[in-house]
Amino acid sequence: MRALARLGLFGSIARRPSPALALFCRNMTTGLPPSPIPLFPTVASYRVWRRKAFDEKKSVGFVATMGALHEGHLSLVRRSLAENDLTVMSIFVNPAQFAPHEDLATYPRTLPRDLELLTAISVDTPFGPRSASAVFVPTVSEMYPSGITQSVAEQKGTFVEVKGYGHQMEGRTRPNFFRGVATVVTKLFNVIEPTRTYFGQKDIQQALLLRRLTRDLLLSHPEPQNLFIVPTARDPSTSLALSSRNAYLSPHEREHAAPALYAALQAAQSAWEANASKADCVARAVAVIEETQRKLGDSADIRLDYVDMNDPESFDVLPDGTSRADWEADVGGRPVILSGAIWVGKTRLIDNIVLSRSAAFTKPC
């Protein structure tokens, strides 16, 4: 008890437990790691906290994650801290967005380290320093009270699907992925009730689809204009897009093979800016992947999944003969999404570049 008191876990009046001790004890009894940030494993416990924020008229920023945090996630948190009174993160590995053959069982789960990283973040604002206010860490049964299986044909209960926008780009390779994403994020928005929410550009199709979802479902928390898309965070030495799945890569793969995707997209970008056709742009990108594979030989396995260029509103593929001049003459200032995916060994990596003359594309609609 004296040791706890020295740590500030007891109040000074009649040994009344301090809020820090109450939080510590609650985390221990729920099996959660100790954390100075309030952890909410249930919807009911979080909603008590959220009602208080509503009563105090405080804005709440939200960053949804599956954990295994990296600088990309933390950049979203910093943006939220700068723009909101309170910031909430969710950490939940969502089974509904994994196909039966995908890596649900092996996806990195690093909650103690995640909380350490989150606790270390503080942002100075005109209103004083801000740090993360709460973390929502639900169980699978809390998020899917009707149960969940990875087989869509066997699922029961309520699911959300954004019709006509989930089969292109990433949806071509992962056909039920966006159904799982739309379902879990709708649930999270219902629980968290964020004033603003932040998603990374690396998952550009996901972010644009969710912005459409907020508009189509007439959501008020957040409203569509308060869903922000933040530029992709990259490794400073290789420009590899930061991703939790990068943990699967060997050091050799991470340094020499994985960066080929972004290099390929940059080659396609240069061709597009020189007014090459879409088919030529894609061919330039494919050539970069093939040349990297040739140079690495048997030391790394690189396989191209796709490289393509899509309309950001419909996600439709651009015709092969379309050039930048053709596109701009047809649709004006609307950008193009240049995206791709490769396999490096057993790890699938994605990336994209927004081809636009306007920096406002990823701002709210």
3-state SS of the chain? Answer: CHHHHHCCCECCCCCCECHHHHHHHHHHHCCCCCCCCCEECCHHHHHHHHHHHHHCCCCEEEEEECCCCCHHHHHHHHHHHHHCCEEEEEECCCHHHCCCCCCCCCCCCCHHHHHHHHHCCCEEECCEEECCCEEECCCHHHHCCCCCCCCHHHCCCCCCCCCCCCCCCHHHHCCCHHHHHHHHHHHHHHHHCCCEEEEEHHHHHHHHHHHHHHHHCCCCCCCHHHEEEECCCECCCCCCECCHHHHHCCHHHHHHHCCHHHHHHHHHHHHHHCCCCHHHHHHHHHHHHHHHHHHHHHHCCEEEEEEEEECCCCCCECCCCCCHHHHHHHHCCCCEEEEEEEEECCEEEEEEEEECCCCCCCCCC
Do 101 and 184 lie in one domain? The reply is yes
Phi, psi of 8 (to 5 degrees): 80, 15
Does one domain contain both 178 and 308? Answer: no
Asked about 256 being catalytic, the answer comes back as no
181-213 per-position pLDDT tens digit: 999 999 999 999 999 999 999 999 999 999 999
What is residue 166's predicted lDDT score, i.e. its pLDDT?
82
- Whether cis (ω within 30° of 0) applies to the bond prior to 222 is yes
Same domain? 176 vs 306: no
CA angle 207, 208, 214 (to 5 degrees): 90
Residue 18 lies in a domain: no
| Residue 164 belongs to some domain of the structure | yes
- Total domains in the chain come to 2
Q: Quick one: CA dihedral 252, 254, 256, 258, positive or negative?
A: positive
pLDDT given for residue 262 in this prediction? 98
Q: Looking at 186, 205, 230, which one is the last position of a domain?
A: 230
pLDDT (0 to 100) of residue 31: 81
Q: What is the pLDDT of residues 323-333, one digit of tens each?
A: 999 999 998 88
CATH code of the domain in which 337 resides: 3.30.1300.10
330 and 185 in a common domain: no
- What's residue 167's pLDDT? 85
Among 73, 167, 221, 252, the active-site one is: 73
Q: Name the residue type at position 84.
A: N
pLDDT digits (tens, 9 = 90+) for 32-46: 999 999 999 999 999
- Domain boundaries, position 169: 32-230
Please indicate, yes or no, if residue 13 is contained in any of the structural domains: no
pLDDT score, position 332: 85
In a domain, 6, yes or no: no
Q: Going residue by residue through the chain, which has 365 residues, state the pLDDT in tens, using 9 for 90 and above.
A: 333 333 333 333 333 444 444 444 444 446 899 999 999 999 999 999 999 999 999 999 999 999 999 999 999 999 999 999 999 999 999 999 999 999 999 999 999 999 999 999 999 999 999 999 999 999 999 999 999 999 999 999 999 999 988 888 888 889 889 999 999 999 999 999 999 999 999 999 999 999 999 999 999 999 999 999 999 999 999 999 999 999 999 999 999 999 999 999 999 999 999 999 999 999 999 999 999 999 999 999 999 999 999 999 999 999 999 999 999 999 888 999 999 999 999 999 999 999 986 555 555 54
Does any domain span residue 271? Answer: yes
Q: Is residue 340 part of a domain?
A: yes
Same domain, 268 and 156: no
325: buried, middle or exposed (CB in 10 Å: 19+, 13-18, 0-12)?
Answer: exposed
Residues 6+ apart with CB under 8 A from 33: 27, 111, 112, 115
Q: Are 365 and 217 in contact (CB under 8 A)?
A: no
HSE-CB of 156 using CA atoms within 13 angstroms: 3
CATH number of the domain where residue 194 is located: 3.40.50.620
Residue at which a domain ends, from 173, 205, 230: 230
Which amino acid, one-letter code, is at 341?
A
